[in-house]
């Protein structure tokens, strides 16, 4: 049924020649496919009965399927939820990713903390994929760029691999629409096998090309502490971009009538980059249009900017992806030439916007906005600056505002935060590395930028890319990150689903979540409350049974389940959470048994998530959590008042058990990132920057206080109506 619907979907969209969305992501955290497939096809009842006749239970059969090891965190789950929603809402769309042989890793918890072993999800094969050996594309690395007699550039030599397609059907709910997730695996052509070396006994040399190609798709996020690791990650990203774009262009050409009208490409194709991992889509699309299709730079640049869009996932400046220019130059020499041209286009746009009269301002904008970081200006820009009356010494401009510096020092001695003016120069600093800022390339090379929540998108506009927002406000928008109610309520929480259907009077809420608003009028209904509590308790009993099976710990299902499950990282603040638990435990130990029972609600604190294999501090946090659990859980004096459990190998299937039984879901990141950020005087948390502080104080002081620009404070410090979402 899936394959029939799949074929019909794309025959229909090919016939209509509609615009198609292509979603590129390094991760797709799919989870198991069986229950999702039979549920979306409305076959759950029939499938359950058929299995019973064979002596099997659907739930037991479903647990035999391993999770697809194609993702790790929220980025991958967002991608998978999008594919489900695209299919359910009948959008013509494809997903593109990599087919990782070993995924990230399988996590074991030992007395030493986290232990990583290779994931074996493909050991028995994957029944949900269709190998497409007829669909493959060449992907090139290294080599050199040469100019032809007509001036066109060609990238020759180097290392060649083949990207081979594997297709996975993604069904929509109550619709025949079934979209495609195309995953790329890598290999080399048979002629790359060195038969002579093999026959002479040099087997390592004979297999070298094969292993170099295959390892590209071995591991999700290989360790990048070494140059080899960084190179492998960049190879992964380029493989995804190059193979996907070649496939997209082949589809466009197939659907087009001769001659192909490339100016119509953005009207038929939308390429969405999930975070900065697929950034190389931008120079790769330009390279194909320039070198393979013969378009001019102006045409290729215009088509690319109208085709590509970017989803931002982080507001932390240091987490925005950067790559060494030297590494990209070595691996992708043609793309460096194109990136330099894009950077030059961007610089000219900045100069056109801000002029050359105020060099301090111009240097500031270039430092923040350029794609190439700490790299000399192009000749065309130096020529413009040399003609300016203000730029007679462009190569050696350095200015330090001593008065401002003295003011800063004085203000700091008084406990006030200030923004320092730094030395400015157009020359690169030889002590600093030359880098390519991928996020800046995404913003400059695409037509749209979105965050994944309203407050996130506001921070993106007002902080992370504020200079770009001032330049191109029309590019910035919001797409709130949602999750599919099919998998996350309808299928993994059937008890709650039945209650919702009963009280809303329809099952249409599974596709139209606006219907859930109708539950509000029954909020005080005791029957609904009783049913809701009973459904929650049944889910908690399942969680307790699951924890016993996975960890050996017995927990009380009548205790409050306090859950924090996500990738282990310092900024996600699992350490803050466990330190809070240690503090709670310490206070409990200081009290008498009667005081403890009167003061504390019984609580089970559940953690889950993987720490990156080379992230030492995150792995220490995992060990700390498990050590605290070993102490607290064996303290008979505390008993069921407090338990701490770390669930190993957290994935979608584990989440489908834990989330229906959770009562407190901990999302505690980004509250106060650093003491260096400005503090609103009466705001209970720190604003992330001076601009947000001003926004809080100027817009939300309600007692007549006035903003004092000189001291950057509000004269009236008694504020009663803070807008916490702004802080």
Residue 410 has pLDDT above 60, yes or no: no
pLDDT one-digit tens code per residue, 453-497: 999 999 999 999 999 999 999 999 999 988 899 999 999 999 999
Report the 10 Å Cβ neighbour count for 495: 16
Distances (CA, A) of 567 to 11, 376, 452, 610, 650: 40, 39, 18, 5, 9
pLDDT value of residue 191: 80
What span, in angstroms and rounded, lies between the C-alpha atoms of 308 and 301?
11
Establish how many alpha carbons lie within 13 A of residue 15's alpha carbon, considering only the half-sphere containing its beta carbon: 6
Helices (H), ranges, 89-177: none
Mean pLDDT score, 610-632: 96
Per-residue confidence at 682, pLDDT binned at 50, 70, 90? Answer: very low
Instruction: Name the residue with tokens 């010494």.
Output: 393
Give the pair of three-digit tokens for residue 109. Answer: 């918890």
Give the pair of three-digit tokens for residue 670. Answer: 């980004």
pLDDT one-digit tens code per residue, 170-202: 999 999 999 999 999 999 988 888 888 888 888
316 CB-contact burial (10 Å; exposed 0-12 / middle 13-18 / buried 19+): exposed
What span, in angstroms and rounded, lies between the C-alpha atoms of 215 and 228?
12
What span, in angstroms and rounded, lies between the C-alpha atoms of 6 and 544?
39
Work out the angle at residue 309's Cα, subtended by the Cα atoms of residues 305 and 310, and round it to the nearest 5 degrees. 130
What span, in angstroms and rounded, lies between the C-alpha atoms of 342 and 231?
23
pLDDT value of residue 414: 52
Element counts in the chain: helices (H) and strands (E): 27, 22
Distances (CA, A) of 174 to 55, 73, 156: 28, 28, 50
Give the pair of three-digit tokens for residue 76. Answer: 């991958």
pLDDT one-digit tens code per residue, 544-603: 999 999 999 999 999 999 999 999 999 889 999 999 999 999 999 999 999 999 999 999
Residue 681 has pLDDT above 60, yes or no: no
- pTM beyond 0.75: the answer is yes
Mean pLDDT score, 85-108: 96
Identify which of 611, 610, 609, 604 has the alpha carbon closest to the alpha carbon of residue 629. 604
Work out the angle at residue 464's Cα, subtended by the Cα atoms of residues 459 and 465, and round it to the nearest 5 degrees. 105
385: phi then psi, degrees, rounded to nearest 5: -65, -35
For 359-386, give the DSSP string: HHHHHHHHHHH-SEES-PPPHHHHHHHH
Residues 6+ apart with CB under 8 A from 35: 44, 58, 62, 491
Mean pLDDT score, 272-291: 97
pLDDT one-digit tens code per residue, 261-273: 999 999 999 999 9
Sort strands 93-98 and 20-24 into parallel, antiparallel or unpaired: parallel
pLDDT value of residue 425: 62
Instruction: Name the residue with tokens 């800046």.
Output: 440
pLDDT value of residue 490: 94
Per-residue confidence at 408, pLDDT binned at 50, 70, 90? Answer: low
């Amino acid at each position: 049924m899936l394959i029939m619907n799949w074929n019909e979907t794309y025959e229909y969209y090919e016939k209509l020649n509609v615009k198609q969305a292509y979603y590129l992501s390094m991760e797709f955290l799919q989870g198991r496919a069986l229950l999702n497939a039979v549920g979306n096809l409305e076959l759950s009842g029939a499938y359950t009965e058929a299995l019973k006749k064979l002596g099997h239970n659907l739930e037991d059969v479903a647990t035999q399927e391993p999770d697809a090891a194609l993702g790790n965190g929220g980025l991958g789950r967002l991608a998978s939820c999008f594919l489900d929603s695209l299919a359910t809402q009948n959008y013509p769309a494809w997903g593109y990713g990599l087919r990782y042989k070993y995924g990230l890793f399988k996590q074991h918890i030992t007395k030493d903390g986290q232990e990583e072993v290779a994931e074996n999800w493909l050991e028995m094969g994957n029944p949900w994929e269709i190998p497409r050996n007829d669909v493959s594309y060449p992907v090139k690395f290294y080599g050199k760029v040469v100019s032809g007699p007509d001036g066109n550039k060609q990238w020759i030599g180097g290392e060649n691999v083949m990207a081979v397609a594997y297709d996975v059907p993604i069904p929509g709910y109550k619709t025949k629409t079934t979209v495609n997730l195309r995953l790329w695996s890598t290999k080399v052509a048979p002629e790359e096998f060195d038969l002579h070396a093999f026959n002479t006994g040099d087997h390592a040399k004979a297999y070298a090309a094969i292993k170099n190609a295959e390892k590209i798709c071995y591991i999700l996020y290989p360790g990048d502490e070494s140059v080899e690791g960084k190179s492998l990650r960049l190879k992964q990203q380029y493989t995804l971009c190059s193979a996907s774009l070649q496939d997209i262009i082949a589809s466009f050409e197939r659907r087009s009538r001769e001659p192909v009208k490339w100016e119509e490409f953005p009207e038929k194709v939308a390429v969405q980059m999930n975070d900065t991992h697929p950034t190389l889509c931008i120079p790769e699309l330009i390279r194909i249009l320039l070198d393979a299709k013969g378009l001019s730079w102006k045409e290729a640049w215009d088509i690319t900017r109208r085709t590509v869009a970017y989803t931002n996932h982080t507001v932390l400046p240091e987490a925005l992806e950067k790559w060494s220019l030297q590494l990209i130059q070595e691996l992708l020499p043609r793309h460096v030439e194109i990136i330099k041209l894009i950077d030059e286009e961007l610089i000219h746009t900045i100069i056109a916007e801000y002029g050359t009269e105020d060099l301090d301002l111009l240097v500031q904008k270039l430092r923040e906005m350029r794609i190439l970081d700490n790299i000399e200006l192009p000749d065309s820009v130096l020529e413009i600056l040399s003609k300016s009356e203000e730029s007679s010494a462009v190569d050696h401009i350095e200015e330090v505002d001593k008065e401002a510096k003295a003011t800063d020092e004085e203000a700091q001695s008084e406990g006030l935060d200030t923004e320092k003016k730094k030395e400015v120069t157009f020359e690169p600093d030889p002590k600093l590395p030359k880098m390519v800022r991928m996020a800046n390339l995404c913003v400059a090379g695409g037509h749209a930028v979105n965050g994944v929540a309203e407050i996130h998108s506001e921070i993106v506009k007002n902080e992370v890319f504020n200079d770009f927002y001032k330049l191109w406000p029309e590019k910035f928008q919001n797409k709130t990150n949602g999750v599919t109610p099919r998998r996350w309520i309808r299928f993994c929480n059937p008890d709650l689903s039945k209650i919702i259907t009963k009280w809303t009077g329809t099952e249409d809420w599974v596709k139209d979540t606006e219907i859930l608003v109708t539950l509000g009028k029954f909020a005080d209904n005791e029957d609904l409350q009783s049913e809701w509590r009973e459904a929650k308790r049944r889910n908690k009993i399942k969680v307790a049974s699951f924890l016993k099976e996975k960890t050996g710990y017995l927990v009380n299902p009548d205790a409050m389940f306090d859950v924090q499950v996500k990738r282990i990282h310092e900024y996600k603040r699992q350490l803050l959470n466990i330190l809070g638990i240690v503090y709670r435990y310490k206070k409990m130990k200081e009290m008498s048994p009667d005081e403890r029972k009167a003061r504390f609600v019984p609580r089970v604190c559940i953690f889950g998530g993987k720490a990156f294999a080379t992230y030492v501090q995150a792995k220490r946090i995992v060990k700390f959590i498990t050590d605290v659990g070993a102490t607290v859980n064996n303290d008979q004096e505390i008993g069921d008042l407090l338990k701490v459990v770390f669930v190993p190998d957290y994935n979608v299937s584990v989440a489908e058990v834990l989330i229906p039984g959770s009562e407190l879901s901990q999302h505690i990141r980004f509250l106060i990132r650093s003491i260096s950020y400005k503090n609103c005087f009466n705001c209970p948390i720190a604003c992330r920057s001076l601009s947000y502080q001003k926004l809080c104080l100027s817009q939300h002081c309600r007692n007549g206080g006035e903003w004092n620009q000189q001291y950057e404070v509000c004269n009236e410090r008694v504020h009663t109506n803070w807008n916490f979402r702004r802080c």
